[in-house]
Amino acid sequence: MSDPESQEATVLRTRQAHATPAPATDPATDPATDRRTALADGLVRFLESGEPEPGLFAPDVFCDLVLPRWRLQARGVDDAVALRRSGHPARGRVPRRRVDPTPTGFVLEVEEVWDDDGERWCCRELFRADVGADGIVELAVYCTGDWDAARVAEHATAVSLLRP
């Protein structure tokens, strides 16, 4: 069995091999920034539809999903899509989002809402994506967990938020 430092070095080399290098120009006018933003927009459309557009994910995409009390992983487009659908089988909507391009991809923050079995659900998620020539090559997903209407009401009674 290999030691954790060797495993970490292998993961780092894999990420570096797939990652897009840092832009040499102003991020506001750099075509690579436009591509990363376009992929982030495509990821939002995937969250809303459940169907990835061609070129959104690299064929060997790696997805690492972290939930409040669990962690799941998938490799490959089919398995990554199945992982998403297992937790969110219904179509949803992303009413709020923010995308920040990074040297190797982007960070996307979303609020997501959907209906399932006649009940309204919501969650907040943060996605860190590494982008390569074939699309998103690595996707780390951090989810707050799914809140049903009762949890939303409980929270609204207990806490006054400064922003939505």
- The CATH number of the domain where 142 resides is what? 3.10.450.50
Instruction: Please indicate, yes or no, if residue 163 is contained in any of the structural domains.
Output: no
Nearest to 127 by CA among 82, 61, 49: 61
Instruction: Please indicate, yes or no, if residue 52 is contained in any of the structural domains.
Output: yes
Q: Which domain holds residue 67?
A: 25-158
CA angle 57, 61, 62 (to 5 degrees): 140
Number of domains in the chain: 1
79-136 per-position pLDDT tens digit: 999 999 998 888 899 999 999 999 999 999 999 999 988 999 999 999 999 999 999 9
140-153 per-position pLDDT tens digit: 999 999 999 999 99
Range with lowest mean pLDDT among 2-6, 60-64, 140-144: 2-6
Q: How far apart, in whole angstroms, are the C-alpha atoms of residue 108 and residue 127? A: 5
